[in-house]
Structure 1
Amino acid sequence: ILNLSELKALGSRFLYQYPLTYEERWRSVRLHDPMTIIYTSGTTGQQKGAVHTHYSVNAANCLNLQVIPPLSHQDVHLTLLSLSHSYERQFGQMLSLNMGGSLAYPDRNVNLLENMQIFAPTWFAGVPSVYEDIVAGIQQAFAGEPAKNQRFSEAIDIGLKAIDAVTDEDGFINYYDWNYFLTHLDPELRNKYLWADWEIYSQIRTWLGGRYRVSFSAAGALSARVCKLFMAMRLPIIEGYGLVETCNTVSCNYLHRILPGSVGALVPAVEGKISPDGELLLRGDNIIREYWNNPSATREAFTEDGFFKTGDIVEQLPGGYLRLVDRKKDLLVLNNGKKVATTKLEGLFALHKPISQVCILGDDRSYVTALLVPNFDFFIDYFKARGLSFDEHALQYQNEGGKQTCIKVGLDFIEQPALKEQIAETVQQVNAELEDYELIMKYSIINRRFIVSADELTPTLKLKRKVIYKNFAGLIDKMYE
């Protein structure tokens, strides 16, 4: 292992011995030479190597700098995702280096909020589950004392009312200037909001390091409620959309025009259109031209006129904004022809404490069902606080983000009446927001989490549905008997 000074010394000696090598090396690289090959996460089968050139990566960096709030050498980026994730590598690492900013790599032995306090980041890039985890951590911090929890709940209610008050008729929010935001609240609500900010939100901002300016969300649909909640706490999230093949960002929201529940509008220099079946098609300098050694996959990925097939179904919203409906391959088609967006249904469970993971089912069936994974840690605390016994020897844990998380329980655990009752209430609340054909008619509670080691999740924690269907085939079939 070398320290930084030793590494620098090696470089200096090499430069002294071979003064022309660096010059020759960088001049030998052409703009359209491959820079990196990034393999897709492979939710449905064989991974494909997306070939990005120096040209496509630099095009992506330039696009980002045009549309995101200004960043500088004074900014600190906290690296929350693995660098194997193209979103973190390009949008986080490369963009920070481009700006001369600092990169902080978290201590995996402590949890997310502790890392925030250690590094005090000004910005970071996350997936929706990161923000859901932050909300869960904040909720847990206030849950211990009834009086504190009551003030927290009041503050959240006030904040969401304030966000709704400044939302225009098309659902857009101008959050570029906090003072502008305040002036558009009526005096009574403004005073309540300022109390909530002083009493609760300022404390939460301190927990996140005290220097948070902005964060970004992609690689999945962010709950509109989570987006609004963070805005209420003066912690704006900019949601966008992109893929490995597009070198990430192709659309995003803007601070002066945020539409919660959307992935924003296409960025400049990216051309897009929607196919007759709703798939988003894209063309631009930031998009790959080939998959590595895979000409058949390359041909299948593009239309005859050169547009890349994203595989995502989108809905066009006011102002050219887009809403991500679902992955084309994840859209369920019931046997009556009705189409059900799994992303929508699974996303509705995001802020319900009793549920940790959901897999929606129903393709070529007569109704929708679900596999539900309870939030085991939540129920362990719940049972212990009420003196409810369960087999503690059956509990299995693994380290997730510096925290020991329960990933498996005994069958007696999921048979607890208190657990079943809360799960049933949660499903009822979700069903209240659905169309008749989308209703979850039956569900099964399972006693372990979906995990990467069982090949049920990708490295970016997306469900590998075919594997889950195979692993739980018997349970699924029973729901359709």
Structure 2
Amino acid sequence: MNITQFLNTNTEKYSLKHAIGFRKDNKWESINWKDFRRMVFKTANALKEAGVEENDRVAIYSDNSAEWIVFDLAILSIGAVTVPIYSTNSKEQAEYIINDSESKIIMVGNQEQYDAAYELIQRNVFLKKIIVSKKKVWIKKEFSEFLEDFIKTAKEHSEIVEKSDDDLATLIYTSGTTGIPKGVMLTHGNFNKSFEAHFDFFKFKNFQNEHSLAFLPLTHVFERSWTLLCLFGGAKVSFLENTKLIASTLTEVKPTMMCAVPRFYQKIYAGVNEMVKDGSETKKKIFNWAMSVGSEVAELKRLGKAVPFALNLKNSAANKLVFQKIKNKMGGNLWFMPCGGASLSPEVTKFFDAMGIRITVGYGLTETTATLTAFPFTHYEHGSAGITLGDTKIKIGENDEILAKGSGIMKGYYKKAEETAAVFTEDGWFKTGDAGKLDEKGNLYITDRIKDLMKTSNGKYVTPQPIENLLSNNQFISQAMVVAEGKPFVTALIIPNFEALKDQLPKMNMPFTSWEEIVNSDQIKAFYQQKIDEIQQSQSGFEKVKKFTLMPAEFEIGSGEITPTLKVKRNVVLEKYKELIDKMYLH
């Protein structure tokens, strides 16, 4: 079945109910299911008129927007294949994806993306047309058309093309922390089976009344599959175009659901704890009491037990005094938050649990249509990545590698038979490249990326992610990259949380000059040394960061230091900052 069949199903069921939300002229607007389907079908007909046929590839090179999802569904509904390109990708990266996928048409969102696409189309043998989603972009009429004009004369009715489970739906190019991007082939069956597995696993009640905020890039499998799942289930999805506006958007949109990466939760966790630390003794006592009550309630709920009446009363008071204030900053209605992309410390999930916000930790890859495992509503284990969904099977192979089978596993890498064969065992298990273990209850624990496992020159094995998580759970540390491979001890490159550090400077009687000067000052180094010593108290000696370097700026997506989902590309950073790293081992 074509995954876009939900357009017909939900238009019949919820014709006048809001399907999507978006910001227009500084205010949030919505479109109902009937109008949403009409826009998708008009776009689908316009694509057909432009010469797009079944199985042709069509690219989207844009930030999140309502137009993004309309264009995606239009492509899929006519049996063509969507090729998302990260909005942060360079012109060269976009060109590689267009050439490899042989995309015919590309939709762009902003001026920079349009300029890159316009330059490419003049020398590209595959690309025939650029569709521009926003009128504020200045375009040259040759090869280009605004989406609004593109669909103006198109018919409003379209037949959704039938598809089998094995038919290709999308090519998602892995941003990859190593090597050349590979086009992951995901099918209509991969998505449909994934949706069914999620609804069977969580057994949501009245899902059509939920409201999700699409905040992570739709180009990434996590947000894309979650957004499609929400629409499949009849929920409303609002699209955030500028991620810098997340704080104000949460209070305006008031979503009930939203998926995010660990960094989002770590920042809230660290910010609240720092605020409490700086507060009065009375405020500390109230906060600690509230957390104690909330934690007791959360633990009973985790075990599937009833909460006694008296404890419920106390929890209501804790909610009014403490938790609701924090929750209101996140819109006040959030209760279900899928989290993936990297590991998350158990203290962070317990903290949110105590407040009554469920972080549903999960594990998966682009190659597995996102979720392989997730926290169920009860009997989950903090620190784990949950249990398997649907027909997914997991076992632990050589070098503790996590191996998976199931209907979410990709068809393979596009035009890369050797690379595809390399990630499957002879009996068909997909090799994830991650190391892990399973407990007796079937909970999966991720220990690390196999490629990231480090061995010091003293023969000790160091897994960097838990150390990096521990460091970045602190309010003053935005990101950390651990170095240990072949070295006598562990060091780290530390990206300060510049916002928090700037607020701290007046308290230290330090005027702001430049970040270069600030991070190299003895006073700031001593401040961070103290923080790192506090953080590492319970660490084993060989795992402790002995020396660190404070970086004067964030790692950047554009320069290839991090992926669009904020994972550090270790090989790039190690090479780029080799001198800085070597310096830490000189004395």
- TM-score range for the pair, normalised by the shorter chain length: 0.7 to 0.9
Decide whether the 8 Å contact of 2:467 with 2:482 is kept in 1: yes
SS of the residue aligned with 1:84?
coil
Decide whether the 8 Å contact of 1:173 with 1:259 is kept in 2: no
Q: Deviations over 1:39-96 (max 9, x none)?
A: 11210111111101111111111111111250521110011101011000002x1111
| Aligned match of 1:86 | 221
Decide whether the 8 Å contact of 1:303 with 1:309 is kept in 2: yes
| Aligned match of 1:174 | 301
| Aligned match of 1:463 | 568
Which of 542, 549, 564 is the equivalent residue of 1:437?
542
Which structure is richer in relative contact order (CA contacts within 8 A, separation 6 or more)? 1
Decide whether the 8 Å contact of 2:38 with 2:156 is kept in 1: no
CA 9–193 in structure 1, closer or farther in 2 if over 3 Å, else same? closer
Decide whether the 8 Å contact of 1:158 with 1:193 is kept in 2: no
Give the length in aligned residue pairs: 447
What is the deviation of 1:180?
A: 2.4
Is 1:413 the equivalent of 2:413? no
CA distance in 2, matches of 1:353, 1:134: 9
Decide whether the 8 Å contact of 1:112 with 1:134 is kept in 2: no
Q: What letter is aligned with 1:79?
A: A
SS of the residue aligned with 1:326?
strand
What is the deviation of 1:196?
A: 2.4
| Aligned match of 1:399 | none
Decide whether the 8 Å contact of 1:262 with 1:323 is kept in 2: yes
SS of the residue aligned with 1:41?
coil
What is the deviation of 1:429?
A: 2.3
| Aligned match of 2:480 | 358
CA distance in 1, matches of 2:343, 2:479: 15
| Aligned match of 1:97 | 231
Which of 240, 260, 269 is the equivalent residue of 1:126?
260
Decide whether the 8 Å contact of 2:258 with 2:336 is kept in 1: yes
CA 22–376 in structure 1, closer or farther in 2 if over 3 Å, else same? closer
CA distance in 2, matches of 1:104, 1:12: 21
| Aligned match of 1:76 | 211
Which of 270, 274, 278 is the equivalent residue of 2:392?
270
Q: What letter is aligned with 1:268?
A: G
Q: What letter is aligned with 1:420?
A: K
CA distance in 1, matches of 2:569, 2:177: 5
CA distance in 1, matches of 2:509, 2:488: 42
CA distance in 2, matches of 1:377, 1:252: 33
Q: Percent identity?
A: 27
Is 1:209 the equivalent of 2:343? no
| Aligned match of 2:470 | 348
Structure 1, unmatched stretches of 5+, are 395-408
CA distance in 2, matches of 1:10, 1:220: 34
Decide whether the 8 Å contact of 2:276 with 2:287 is kept in 1: no
CA distance in 2, matches of 1:230, 1:144: 18
CA distance in 1, matches of 2:214, 2:200: 22
Decide whether the 8 Å contact of 1:223 with 1:350 is kept in 2: no
Decide whether the 8 Å contact of 1:155 with 1:193 is kept in 2: no
1:109-148 maps to which residues of 2 (within 5 A)? 111-136=245-270, 138=272, 146-147=279-280
CA distance in 1, matches of 2:195, 2:39: 31
What is the deviation of 1:190?
A: 6.8
Decide whether the 8 Å contact of 2:361 with 2:385 is kept in 1: yes
| Aligned match of 2:418 | 296
Which of 290, 313, 316 is the equivalent residue of 2:435?
313
| Aligned match of 2:531 | 426
What is the deviation of 1:227?
A: 0.6
CA distance in 2, matches of 1:88, 1:20: 28
Is 1:161 the equivalent of 2:292? yes
| Aligned match of 2:107 | none
Decide whether the 8 Å contact of 1:174 with 1:258 is kept in 2: no
Q: What letter is aligned with 2:222?
A: Y
| Aligned match of 2:179 | 45
What is the deviation of 1:110?
A: 5.6
What is the deviation of 1:379?
A: 1.6
| Aligned match of 2:199 | 65
What is the deviation of 1:160?
A: 4.2
Decide whether the 8 Å contact of 2:42 with 2:157 is kept in 1: no
What is the deviation of 1:424?
A: 0.8
Q: What letter is aligned with 2:488?
A: S
CA distance in 1, matches of 2:330, 2:555: 29
What is the deviation of 1:437?
A: 2.0
What is the deviation of 1:22?
A: 4.1
Decide whether the 8 Å contact of 2:255 with 2:333 is kept in 1: yes
CA distance in 1, matches of 2:444, 2:42: 51
CA distance in 1, matches of 2:502, 2:440: 45
TM-score (structure 2 length as normaliser): 0.70
Decide whether the 8 Å contact of 2:211 with 2:257 is kept in 1: yes
Decide whether the 8 Å contact of 2:168 with 2:185 is kept in 1: yes
| Aligned match of 2:578 | 473
CA distance in 2, matches of 1:111, 1:236: 23
CA 26–377 in structure 1, closer or farther in 2 if over 3 Å, else same? same
What is the deviation of 1:386?
A: 4.4
CA 387–336 in structure 1, closer or farther in 2 if over 3 Å, else same? closer
Q: Deviations over 1:147-201 (max 9, x none)?
A: 4x952x435433443466468xxxx763487x92456xxx6x7776443222111
| Aligned match of 2:317 | 195
SS of the residue aligned with 1:221?
coil
SS of the residue aligned with 2:289?
helix
CA 9–207 in structure 1, closer or farther in 2 if over 3 Å, else same? closer
What is the deviation of 1:289?
A: 2.4
Decide whether the 8 Å contact of 1:160 with 1:228 is kept in 2: no
SS of the residue aligned with 2:232?
helix
Structure 2, unmatched stretches of 5+, are 1-23, 25-29, 47-152
CA distance in 1, matches of 2:544, 2:578: 21
Q: Deviations over 1:179-238 (max 9, x none)?
A: 92456xxx6x77764432221112222222222221111111112111111111111111
What is the deviation of 1:432?
A: 1.8
CA distance in 2, matches of 1:60, 1:100: 16
CA 251–159 in structure 1, closer or farther in 2 if over 3 Å, else same? farther
SS of the residue aligned with 2:395?
strand
What is the deviation of 1:374?
A: 1.8
Decide whether the 8 Å contact of 1:280 with 1:313 is kept in 2: yes
Which of 313, 338, 347 is the equivalent residue of 1:225?
347
